[in-house]
Amino acid sequence: MNDTQRPTWCEIDLSAIEHNYLAIDAHVGSSQVMPIVKADAYGHGHRQVAQRLQELNAPCLGVAYVEEGIALRKADITLPIHVLGGAVERQIPLFLEHDLTFTAPSVDKLHQIDEAAQSAKTEAKVHLKIDTGMERIGVHHYNADNLLQAALNCRSIKVEGIFSHFASADAPDLQFARLQLERFLEVLDFYPRHDLPTPVRHIANSSAILALPEAHLDLVRPGLLIYGVSQLTEAVTNINIKAALSWRSEVVYFKVVEAGNPVSYGGTWAPTEATRVVTLPVGYADGYRRALSNRAQVIINNQKHNVVGRVCMDQTMIDIGNSSAYNGDQATLIGSSADHRITVEDLAEWADTIPYEILTAITARVPRRWQP
C-alpha cells in the first residue's frame, strides 16, 4: 500500500463482476442481459465496470441519467446505452449527440424526441415505458395503446424496446408482481393484434431474475445482482454470485475506557467495566451511516467487534474488549477476513435500510482500488 493513501478504502473485484454477469447470463437462457451501471455502478466505478462488461460483449448497458451515459461514452464505451430515467426536453439533443437510447414515457415526450431527431436528420432509438403499478414514470398500462400507436406514426424514431418495472419483486408475496407482469403482457398484445413485430420486451430486475423466471422475456436488467448482492434470502438467490466490493479501514488510535465513561456524541454507550476501544478513520461523511451506531460490527484481527457510541462524521469507535489491536491494524467493514464475513446485507439490516442504499452511499472520498 502507498504510504500516502488514506487508511480507509474500498476494494473492487472485477473478476467477481465478470463471474456474476456470466452466471446471470447462463441462468436466463435465451434472454439477453442488460447490466445496470447507474450511480457509478452502484459505487463500484462506472468506467472500470463498464469496460469489463464491454470486454465480455454484454449486449447493452443501463443507466439512469443522460449524464451517466455521456460519461461512459467519454470512457470509450461503445456498447448501446439505455437511459432508463426521464429526461427534460433540453436534454434530448444530448442523447442524439452521444448515441444514447431514450426512454419514452409519454406521448408528449415521444413527439419531442421525434421532432428533435427530424431536425438533426437522424433516427432516435427509443424504448417505450409502461407503468404497470410503480406510479413513477411511464404511461399507465390501461392507456398504453395511445403511446404504442403514436410511436407508429413517428417518422424519426426506431422503437427498439418496450418495458416496465416491478415495484415489489423482492417481496415474500409475489401477487402484485405477477399482476404487473399480467398487465404488461396485456399491453404487449397490441403488436400481434395489429400484425406488427414486437419490440424487445423487458421488466425483470435483479429480484425478478431470481424469483420470477416467467418475467425474463427478451431482456433482463440486473443491478444489485451484478455486484454480488441480493435482497432475497439465500434460498431464493439461486445463482452462485460473488460479492465484488470490500470496505476496509485501519486502526488509528487505541485507548482504555474506564467503566461508566460514555463514548462519542450524546453518550449513548458506556462500558460496564474497563474496556479497550479503538478508533477508525471512517464515518457518515464516507457513507458509514450514523444509523449503524451501537448496532454494527467490524472485523479486526480475526474477531468481530461492536461499533460503540455514535458514528461520527469522520471517525467510528470499536469496543475490542480484552483483545489487542495496534495502529495500522486492518478493520473490515464489508467483506471477508480470515474466518469471518460482513456483508452489504448485514449493514443494511443493522441500518434498517436496503443494500442499494449502503452501496450507493459510500462517498467519493473513499478511494477505490480495482482488482482485475
Indicate which residues carry an active-site annotation.
38, 265
Neighbours of 22 (CB within 10 A): 12
Give the CA radius of gyration of the chain.
Answer: 24
**Alpha-carbon distance 207 to 286, whole Å?**
28
For 372, half-sphere exposure in the C-beta direction (CA atoms, 13 angstrom radius) is: 1
**Alpha-carbon distance 309 to 311, whole Å?**
6
Are 50 and 37 in contact by the 8 Å Cβ rule? The answer is yes
SS3 150: helix
Q: Is 324 exposed, middle or buried (0-12, 13-18, 19+ CB in 10 A)?
A: exposed
147-179 b/e with 16+ CB inside 10 Å = b? Answer: bbebbeebebbebbbbbbbbbebbeeebeebee
Find, among 208, 223, 217, the residue nearest to 170 by Cα.
208
Instruction: Name the DSSP class of 36.
Output: B
- DSSP letter for each residue of 165-181: --S-TTSS--HHHHHHH
**Alpha-carbon distance 8 to 13, whole Å?**
17
Find, among 115, 97, 120, 206, the residue nearest to 153 by Cα.
115
SS3 358: helix
341-369 b/e with 16+ CB inside 10 Å = b? Answer: ebbbbbbbebbeebbbebbbbbeeebebe
